[in-house]
Amino acid sequence: MQNQNTRPVFPFTAIVGQEEMKLALILNVIDPRIGGVMIMGDRGTGKSTTIRAIADLLPEIEVVKDDLFNSHPVESELMSDEVKKKLQDNINLEKTFIKVPMIDLPLGATEDRVCGTIDIEKALTEGVKSFEPGLLAKANRGILYVDEVNLLDDHLVDILLDSAASGWNTVEREGISIRHPARFVLVGSGNPEEGELRPQLLDRFGMHAEIRTVKEPELRVKIVEQRTNFDLNPSKCIEEYEEQQQELKAKIREAQNRLSSIKIDYDNRVKISQVCSELDVDGLRGDIVTNRAAKALAAFEGKNSVTVEHIKKIATLCLRHRLRKDPLESIDSGDKVSKVFNQIFST
């Protein structure tokens, strides 16, 4: 149930349509190493509502109390150097549970605001490293959401993608260096009318979901009704979907636990690479992400190994944004992925 002091969040299971976006978000939550989601679509299609809803749905995480980086009490890859030192010195750490952090990155954010700042004066006069954490620190083990990512300065997008890929953020100033864990699911959204993201940045997002305004009148009416009911009485709407929310929450938790044991046979791995090769995808990121996403989907569906159906369901999401754009090509990139997939997997 929701805390009375927090702003009510629209239930994830109440969201109608936009299956592509919902699936991409769920798979990234199961395995953050997929590398985030870029959501491109029309204005007013519920992008930010859906992202807030998935963050609200996630199980609470255990952290070291009062730690600036949401450090994990036992996993060294997810803890700050300060916490590691305390553990080495056998200092007892107080623990607590918090909601998964959901951090919004505003468009006008500066590099200092994103990465954090080192207090040089304090370092020089008192000889202590004093660090003011930025948004990357707050987002550790959570979700970092950038709306209108295609309008963000390329330099900042680079920093975000580097941190998301490595899981660490390093701040250097005047010869003083501080690093901290910054492992988060990066979710970017944008409207294609406001310009595309540069291909080399787009390729760094694990998945790419396209969303369109719902055309069917009946479905539109249902969406409007649900939103109106929620705005009039949020607690009633949240209560109505509580059971479905708890079921999905349990399913995600089970999938996270099962993930490491999921197998994908050699033949299917070869075929995934054949698809990437045939589509002329640069580098190996496409192959890696497709394998990871297929495993996450198998885990979500409660299976022990990846089937062709799993791969088929996520192939377009993982590959469509990695294709070279041909201005003369009339076929949609998603259709192109499906066509090549069907050719290779039917042999």
Cα separation, 347 vs 340, in Å, equals 11
Cα 318–chain centre separation: 13
Give me the DSSP letters along 92-105. PPPEEEEPPPEEE-
Choose the catalytic residue: 285, 292, 320, 322: 285
Cα torsion 147, 149, 155, 160: sign? positive
Cα separation, 265 vs 308, in Å, equals 10
Which helix (H) or strand (E) is 36 found in, with range? none
Closest CA to 29 of 187, 180, 168: 187
Cα separation, 215 vs 226, in Å, equals 17
Cα separation, 245 vs 312, in Å, equals 27
Active-site annotation holds for 285:
yes
Cα 74–chain centre separation: 23
Catalytic positions are 285
